[in-house]
Amino acid sequence: MPEPGEICGPVRMCVICRRRFAKAELSRHVLTPEGTLIIDETQKSPGRGFYLCPDPACGRRFEKYRPGTRQRGRRARAAAGRSKGAIWQK
């Protein structure tokens, strides 16, 4: 049962402001193997979609938005730790 004020039809969340919108209002972006986000013109490309609302403020923040950046940072630190260990093994 939809609650009062609920949007009818498919709803997606803007990845920037995390507000919910009707899917038709959002633009869908997909992640390329290179780790950049490109707009999904067809709205049907495989893979996880990143939805952006029409708010210009969100558009500006989305240009710098990179999903999974924190995880990559953890791996980089782990690699640095391993190279330090290699020095000690000499």
- Chain residues in the site for Zn ion (CB under 5 A): 14, 16-17, 53, 55, 58
Q: What is the longest distance spanned by two Cα atoms in the chain?
A: 68
Report in angstroms how near the CB of residue 60 gets to Zn ion at its nearest.
11
Q: Which CB, 19 or 72, lies closer to Zn ion?
A: 19
Report in angstroms how near the CB of residue 25 gets to Zn ion at its nearest.
10
For residue 55, the number of C-alpha atoms closer than 13 Å in the C-beta half-sphere is 16
Q: Which helix (H) or strand (E) holds 16?
A: none
For residue 80, the number of C-alpha atoms closer than 13 Å in the C-beta half-sphere is 6
Report in angstroms how near the CB of residue 31 gets to Zn ion at its nearest.
18
Q: Which CB, 30 or 58, lies closer to Zn ion?
A: 58
